[in-house]
């Protein structure tokens, strides 16, 4: 008797069991037996829904000899530049000496690097299986597969010709549908929807009565308080995550926003590293989720995905509307995971005390209620450097900048990207006249 049963789709519980088994180093056969599936189903699930973390190589080239290679003229052109740095051709495609440094382990079971002991220090392209991300990917594919017109091009073209011919004779859609119901592949409501969407040759103006109807105004319904974004991301989940050995080395980051005028205008996105109290300030055009996403994309593009992950492994924030799309912050544009977002409990700002305390320094220079619209990115960078240069008793009479270790390459990359430079102690200035001193 077979130990597995047939089911249309895997659910979240199955995916959690698969992820747990992979992390324990179990075989697909053992995992499949536990969840009552065939081993090939588990293998297909992992290969289909795994996420990729692109590797980082010298000059973006994964060739084994890239650092010592000085070849020129591989494209048979009188080009003075080294082929390894050529932007017109990929030397890996035309060089007979090319040997890839990519790891071959993901080519065979378990096809991912979850249980690999070298994954933290490995700079090669890696694959991971996450139940949460796999479920999200499957849900997205299901949704996309149901979008658009659900008939073939031939059926739609034939239907369009029929409807257009009859409407031009002055026939209403109800009459056309009643007469040709067996020939039409969709219902009457779908016909109206296709015309509204502009998919068909005829338009609303071609329908006699449609243009005479005033468009209905839907009742403004109160949106229910949606807590779905907090599932698996509560403060208790954050504390559980912090107990893992991974976070003993890389501390979490707190995130918040500072408003000028409450109604509208520019906002400040603030982040603070718990390990050294270094605070980052970003001037955003507004307080929307899209603006926050743009900041994340800017940091990842400037630092690289691996450095971003090491600097921002876990981020704790509040329940503001600008943070309620965690999936877009946790994933980059290529659907590669880059961080994990967690939320404080409602009305519990004390759960992220470091950033709340640091906001006082901002208010020394920009009083509450004053618009942020007049300020520029250069102004905010100057303010950030002054704040991070303040010596504090809680830090052993040192400034946050002084706590950055000389061998912390990731933080130094971030400082270079953000133009972060220490201010001499006697020149630190935190009053509204700071920007007048430029």
Q: Are residues 139 and 40 in the same domain?
A: yes
Please tell me the distance from the alpha carbon of residue 434 to that of residue 438, in angstroms, as a whole number: 8
The alpha carbon of residue 134 and the mean position of all alpha carbons in its chain are separated, in whole angstroms, by 14
Q: Strands 267-273 and 253-259, how do they pair?
A: antiparallel
Query: Is 386 within 8 Å of 434 (Cβ atoms)?
Result: yes
Whether the CB-CB separation of 311 and 318 falls below 8 Å is answered with: no
Same domain, yes or no, for 314 and 421?
A: yes
Residues 298 and 398 in one domain: yes
**C-alpha–C-alpha distance, residues 278 and 103, integer Å:** 36
pLDDT, one tens digit for every residue, the chain (438 residues):
455 555 568 888 888 999 999 988 899 999 999 888 999 999 999 999 998 877 777 777 888 888 888 888 777 767 777 887 777 778 888 888 888 888 888 888 899 988 888 877 788 888 889 888 888 888 888 877 777 677 888 888 999 999 999 988 888 888 988 889 888 888 988 888 888 888 889 888 888 777 666 766 666 655 555 677 888 888 888 888 777 645 554 578 999 999 887 667 899 999 999 989 999 999 999 889 999 999 999 999 888 888 898 899 899 999 988 998 898 898 888 778 888 899 999 888 888 889 988 999 999 999 888 889 999 999 999 999 999 999 998 888 999 999 999 888 999 999 999 999 999 999 999 998 888 755
pLDDT value at position 135?
87
pLDDT value, residue 331: 86
How far apart are the C-alpha atoms of 429 and 390, rounded to whole Å? 9
Q: Are residues 271 and 166 in the same domain?
A: no
Beta bridge partners of 244: none
Q: What is the pLDDT of residues 239-273, one digit of tens each?
A: 887 776 455 545 789 999 998 876 678 999 999 99
Q: Could you tell me if residue 5 is inside a domain?
A: no
**Which of 125, 144, 163 lies at the terminal end of a domain, its last residue?**
144
- In a domain, residue 166? The reply is yes
Question: Do 241 and 360 sit in the same domain of this protein?
Answer: yes
The rounded distance, in Å, linking the Cα atoms of 387 and 437 is: 16
Answer whether residue 16 is part of any domain. Answer: yes
Q: What is the pLDDT of residue 1?
A: 44
CB 273 within 8 A of CB 251: yes
At 385, is the secondary structure helix, strand, or coil? helix
Q: How far apart are CA 230 and CA 324, in angstroms?
A: 8
Do you find a cis peptide bond into 110, omega within 30 degrees of 0?
yes
Res 291: pLDDT: 93
How far is the C-alpha of 41 from the C-alpha of 288, rounded, in Å? 41
Query: How many Å apart are CA 112 and CA 52, to the nearest integer?
Result: 9
Q: Which residue has the tokens 């600097």?
A: 311
What Å distances lie between residue 133 and 80, 94, 327, 338, CA to CA? 46, 37, 9, 12
Task: Indicate whether 299 and 417 sit together in one domain.
Answer: yes
pLDDT in tens, 126-172: 888 988 888 888 888 887 777 767 788 888 899 999 999 998 888 88
Strand pairing partners for 282? Answer: 269
Q: Which of 93, 109, 144 represents a domain boundary (last residue)?
A: 144
Q: What are the CA-CA distances from residue 267 to residues 21, 122, 264 (Å)?
A: 44, 38, 9
* CB environment 219-228: b (16+ within 10 A), e (fewer): eeeeeeeeee
Q: Is residue 74 part of a domain?
A: no
Alpha helices in 211-288, H assignment, sequence order: 235-242, 246-249
CATH code of the domain covering residue 322? 3.30.420.10
Claim to verify: residue 140 and residue 269 sit in the same structural domain: no
Q: 282 with 426, same domain?
A: yes
DSSP E strand boundaries for 21-144 = 51-53, 126-128
Domain that holds residue 196: 153-211
Task: Tell me the DSSP string of 284-312.
Answer: ESSSSHHHHHHHHHHHHHHH-HHHHHHH-
Examine the domain organization and report whether 247 and 352 are in the same domain: yes
Beta strand ranges found along 329-411 (DSSP E): 340-343
Rounded CA separation 23/25 (Å): 5
CB 100 within 8 A of CB 64: yes
What is the DSSP secondary-structure string of 171-209? Answer: --HHHHHHHHTTT-SS-HHHHHHHHHTT-SSS-GGGSTT
Query: Residue 128 falls within a domain, yes or no?
Result: yes
DSSP code at position 84 = G
End-to-end CA distance of the chain: 80
Same domain, 108 and 37: yes
Query: Is 78 among the domain residues?
Result: no
Question: Of 124, 144, 164, which residue sits at a domain end?
Answer: 144
Task: Report residue 342 as tokens.
Answer: 């967690």
Residue showing tokens 């409501």: 189
C-beta of residue 384 within 8 angstroms of C-beta of residue 280: yes
312 with 332, same domain? yes
Q: What's residue 204's pLDDT?
A: 84
**Overall domain count for the chain:** 3
Contact 399, 421 (CB under 8 A): no
- Sign of the Cα torsion 42, 48, 54, 55 reads positive
- Residue 218 forms part of a structural domain: no
Q: Does the residue 220 lie in any domain?
A: no
Q: Which helix (H) or strand (E) holds 125?
A: none
198 and 256 housed in the same domain: no
């Amino acid at each position: 008797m077979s130990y597995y049963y047939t089911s249309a789709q895997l659910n979240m519980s199955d995916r959690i069991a698969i992820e747990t088994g992979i992390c324990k180093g179990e075989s697909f056969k053992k995992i499949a037996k536990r969840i009552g599936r065939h081993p090939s189903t588990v293998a297909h699930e992992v290969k289909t829904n795994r996420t990729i973390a692109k590797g980082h190589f010298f000059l973006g080239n994964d060739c084994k000899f890239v650092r010592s290679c000085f070849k020129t003229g591989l494209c048979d052109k009188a080009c003075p530049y080294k082929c390894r740095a050529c932007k017109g051709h990929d030397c890996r495609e035309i060089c007979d000496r090319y040997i890839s440094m990519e790891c071959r382990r993901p080519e065979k079971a378990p096809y991912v690097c979850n249980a690999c002991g070298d994954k933290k220090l490995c700079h090669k392209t890696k694959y991971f299986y996450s139940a949460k991300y796999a479920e999200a990917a499957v849900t997205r594919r299901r949704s996309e597969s149901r979008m658009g017109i659900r008939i073939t091009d031939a059926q739609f073209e034939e239907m369009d010709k029929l409807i257009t011919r009859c409407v031009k004779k002055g026939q209403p859609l109800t009459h056309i549908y009643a007469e040709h119901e067996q020939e039409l592949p969709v219902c009457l409501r779908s016909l109206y929807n296709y015309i509204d969407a502009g998919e068909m040759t005829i338009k609303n103006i071609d329908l006699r009565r449609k243009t005479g109807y005033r468009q209905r105004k839907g009742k403004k319904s109160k949106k229910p308080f949606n807590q779905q974004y907090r599932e698996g991301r509560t403060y208790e989940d954050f504390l559980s995550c912090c107990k893992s050995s991974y976070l003993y080395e890389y501390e979490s980051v707190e995130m918040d926003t500072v408003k000028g005028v409450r109604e509208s205008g520019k906002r400040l996105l603030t982040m603070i590293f718990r390990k050294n109290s270094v605070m980052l300030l970003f001037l955003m055009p507004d307080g929307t989720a899209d603006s926050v996403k743009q900041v994340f994309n800017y940091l990842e593009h400037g630092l690289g995905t691996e450095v971003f992950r090491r600097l921002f492994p876990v981020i704790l924030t509040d329940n503001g509307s600008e943070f309620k799309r965690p999936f877009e912050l946790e994933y980059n544009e290529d659907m590669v995971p880059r961080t994990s977002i967690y939320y404080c409990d409602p009305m519990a700002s004390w759960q992220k005390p470091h950033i709340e305390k640091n906001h006082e320094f901002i208010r020394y220079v920009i009083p509450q209620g004053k618009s942020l619209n007049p300020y520029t990115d250069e102004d905010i960078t100057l303010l950030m450097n002054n704040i991070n240069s303040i010596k504090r008793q809680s830090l052993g009479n040192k400034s946050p900048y002084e706590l950055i270790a000389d061998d912390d390459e990731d933080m130094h990359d971030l400082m270079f990207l953000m133009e972060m430079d220490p201010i001499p102690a006697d020149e630190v200035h935190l009053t509204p006249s700071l920007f007048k001193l430029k």
